[in-house]
Chain A
Amino acid sequence: MKQFLLRRLLLLVPTLLGAVSLVFVLIHLIPGDPVEVMLGETATAADKEALRQSLGFDRPLATQYRSFLINLAAGDLGRSLYEPATVVQIIRARLPATLQLAFCAMIAAILISFPLGTMAAIRRGSWIDRSALTFSLLGLSLPNFWLGPLLMIVFSIHLGWTPVSGRGGLSHLILPAFTLGLGMAAILVRILRASLLQVIDQDYVQTARAKGLQESRVWLKHVLRNAMLSVITIMSLQFGGLLAGSLITETIFSWPGIGRLTVQAIQTRDYPLVQGCVLVIATSYVLVNFITDLLYKLVDPRISYGD
């Protein structure tokens, strides 16, 4: 067990390093010089050179990479090239918003998918089954940037139930969480249905039925419990996707999260900020995966991962 833990933790490091290195390479490949953007048109070549030197951009890439890694190890992500703050400060201000949105999107996904998935499994093969699956597919086929404003028009403008956009309490969260979570819901419905159907055929369920247990108790005590595990696993895997995919939802709903921040940072070529953001996103993703694997191992040590 401990060996497994250690192995998995060790594997985290190269993955994170790889992700961060990849972004380092990519952002330096993208055309566009941040010094030019920072100093604008009226600066002389000498001024630009001075800025480049003070930021260390005149050094060869390999040297820059090395000092980047050294700073990273010390927890120093540098300063943003534009905003008067350190990268850590900026990310710390924006990350909670995305986490909040992502979690609530998961809740929304669960609230949609559980009734649908259960119904689909109970009435397998019927038109209820098919419609539930189809309905859930709305989430996958409707792009967020279209769905979001549609929901705003219906629920905020016509019905007046929620505010249009912006961060805040529950009423502000409903629409964006729903928009973001609908995609996940589609997947969850399918997974839940599939694993429920699989569990239903198991011996112990038959046993429970034979013992004379009420159908609803059979479902609650045995079937649902077993099926939920795989659902939880999928949810945690999808969580990483939610983080990255929240970009569009954050833009539409004026949500001050890290997805929007990352794109803005790329557009202004704010290298330190981009690196910081990608690091944070990749770390969350990798951590969540790790925890999932861990939970799985805890639950059923017989599962092997083949590596």
Chain B
Amino acid sequence: MTDTSKQAIFSQSFCARIRLPRRNPYRLFLSVILLPLISTGCRAPAHDRPKGYLVAGIESNPLQLDPRYSTDANSVRIGNLIYNSLLRYDERSQLQSELAEKWHMLDDRTYLFDLRRDVTFHNGERLTAADVKYTYESILEPSSLSPKRGLLRSLEAIDQFGSHKLRFRLRAPHAPFIEQFTLGIVPARAGKPGASNDQAPPGSGPFRLEALESGEKVTLRANPNYWEGSPRLAGVVFKIVPDALVRVLEFKQGGIDFMQNDLEPEMLPWLKNNTDAHIEMNQGTTFQYIGINLTHPILRHQKVRQAIACAIDRDSIIRHLLKNIVSAAGGLLSPHNWAYDQSAHRWPYDPARAEQLLDEAGFMDPDGNGPRPRFRLSFKTTNIDLRRRIAEAFKEQLQQVGIELELRSYEWGTFFSDIKTGNFHLYSLAWVGIEDPDIYHQIFHSSSVPPNGDNRGRYRNSEVDRLLEQGRVTLERSERQMIYRNVQRRLAEDLPYVPLWWWKNVIVKQPGLRGFVAYPDGELISLKKAELG
């Protein structure tokens, strides 16, 4: 906001009083001009494109690369290029060995690992079992204040045998714990973040951190001594370009070579017609849903929730608004997932059925098809343009069946806080990076009400509770599959969430990039095998 008022004050009050100046204003003037020119000169021109490096455009800067502390998507994805872990999910969401040459379960709560012997950190030191033990134990330490501490709660102890054998003992059988073996490993003397002057502890991965310029870019250089073989790319620059339109323009001009997601759907046809981009869309795991507050007097009726599910014309939104960069979802788990149940009930668009359900629930339309609604609900969303647009479409669709939605958009911090405290009627959000179906416990178990979990809608169903507890301790894959099939069926009827869609992973890359494989959870790990032609 410019202070037009101030300039007016000045023009009136002061100009009139100026007489002859005592000093030469030109000199002052000159110094004002020279300053920025000097400052421009002092700053070396940005090396946007070092030779052989791939430039990827990302939306926001990674906050914390240390894998023990990283929570935001960019930090995690970049971190996975710098650090190795015991196990790793591949592009088909299957767990593969990475640092672990061999591993197996001794009993229902003990895991044994035999590490590779040819792994070194970027500082030259060998990676041994001591480093693995340190990484996990440093998180468990109360003073670490790591956000991952809760995830390791069921870990009892880690025993080290020699320099390459480890045993993880859990307090009780906990099937989902296996996910924790995808944690990046740091050297044993890493310390807490900020302890040393390095921006992140050294890793052992295919790329090493070359430079981290806050808010500007993160530069990774290929690790020539990588045990799987040096990456063919000389390095990767993650350039931070906050605005989606500007990212597209940068791509067009050649400033960036690669973008993943966070694009306006309309831009894809434009990119196809106006640049030489290769565009790939794959099924993703990011699940978008409408969250419902089940303590609300109207929303606690199952029929009302089912009516809302029927009233939403997903297909129209997907086809027109989203230009098919999503696929309609029946539930949390995407078709990739081993526990996915495709027989769970879906709710197709049927406004007549919706109105019938609302009538049955006792919420009649006061004036037939007139302007007065049956009832009003608030719908909270973040203030990202696309999310708001989708909310506007919902508002119109629900209006057709007599439900009036009041849209409220907030900046992220306030939105998230409201959701956790249960201060909402309806909201829309997405779950990212779903791998193990135990996430259902975190979201729908009655004990998982915030702050102890993510059951923000306060859903309570004792049968589902029982199933979820069982799923945690059952280790046999096909048995677990049965359990979670039942969970999905129950939830599809009960609708504590109205499922919307899974976002596809949209990759836009320049044709010279070969060998990049898209991962359903958006991981960039295949860059270690990619090359720029």
Contacts and interface: CB of A to CB of B under 8 A. Distances in A.
Question: When A and B assemble into the complex, do they touch directly, with CB atoms less than 8 Å apart?
Answer: yes
A268 B216 contact: no
Q: Which residue among B28, B43, B213, B452 has the maximum number of chain A CB atoms within 10 Å of its CB?
A: B43
A106 B243 contact: no
A157 B274 CA distance: 11
Contact of B43 (A44, A100, A251): A100
Given A104-B36, A184-B2, A230 B253 contact: no
Given A41-B453, A166-B48, A226 B7 contact: no
21 contacts: A37-B416, A39-B150, A44-B150, A84-B66, A93-B214, A106-B36, A168-B45, A168-B48, A183-B2, A191-B7, A195-B11, A229-B21, A238-B7, A251-B242, A254-B242, A260-B242, A264-B60, A266-B411, A267-B412, A267-B413, A300-B18
B77 interface: no
- A contact patch SS: helix
A208 interface: no
B214 to A, nearest CB: 5
A198 interface: yes
B48 A187 contact: no
Nearest to B253: A164
B246 A187 contact: no
B267 interface: no
Contact of B11 (A149, A172, A194): A194
Interface residues of B, number: 82
B145 A50 contact: yes
B1 A41 contact: no
Q: Which residue among B63, B150, B215 has the maximum number of chain A CB atoms within 10 Å of its CB?
A: B215
Interface stretch (A2-10, A12-20, A28-36, A120-128): A28-36
Contact of B3 (A100, A164, A232, A238): A238
Nearest to A171: B45
Nearest to B194: A84
Nearest to B251: A164
Contacts of B242: 251-252, 254, 260
B146 to A, nearest CB: 8
A45 interface: yes
Interface string B205-224: 00000000111100000000
A275 to B, nearest CB: 16
Contacts of B343: none
B417 A31 contact: yes
Contacts of A199: 18
Interface string B1-42: 111101100110011111111111110110011011001100
B2 A187 contact: yes
A194 B15 contact: yes
Given A43-B150, A157-B249, A169 B40 contact: yes
A170 B15 CA distance: 35
Interface of A: 30-33, 36-45, 47-48, 50-51, 54, 79, 82-86, 90, 93-94, 96, 99-100, 103-104, 106-107, 110, 140, 149, 152-153, 156-157, 160, 163-170, 172-173, 183-184, 187, 190-191, 194-195, 198-199, 204, 225-226, 228-230, 232-235, 237-238, 241, 245, 251-254, 256-257, 260-261, 264, 266-269, 295-296, 298-300, 302-303
B255 A166 contact: yes
A163 B43 contact: no
A43 B140 CA distance: 12
Contacts of A183: 2
B142 to A, nearest CB: 6
Contact of A37 (B43, B199, B413): B413
B340 to A, nearest CB: 23
Interface string B150-172: 11010000000000000000000
B36 A166 contact: no
A165 B250 contact: yes
B207 to A, nearest CB: 19
B417 A33 contact: yes
Given A157-B249, A157-B252, A230 B48 contact: no
Given A44-B150, A172-B46, A194-B15, A228 B40 contact: no
Nearest to B241: A254
Given A42-B151, A260-B242, A90 B249 contact: no
B324 interface: no
Contacts of B60: 264
Given A39-B147, A42-B147, A106-B32, A256 B240 contact: yes
B20 A204 contact: yes
A228 B27 CA distance: 11
**Nearest 4 Cβ contacts at the A-B interface:** A84-B193, A42-B150, A256-B215, A103-B36
Given A166-B48, A232-B29, A300-B19, A96 B14 contact: no
Contacts of A241: 1-3
B71 interface: yes
B370 interface: no
B46 A166 contact: yes
Q: Which residue among B22, B148, B193, B214 has the maximum number of chain A CB atoms within 10 Å of its CB?
A: B214
Contacts of A41: 150, 442, 450, 453-454
A84 B199 contact: yes
B28 A173 contact: no
B39 A99 contact: yes
B194 A191 contact: no
Contacts of B445: none
Contacts of A100: 36, 39-40, 43
Contacts of B2: 140, 183-184, 187, 238, 241, 245
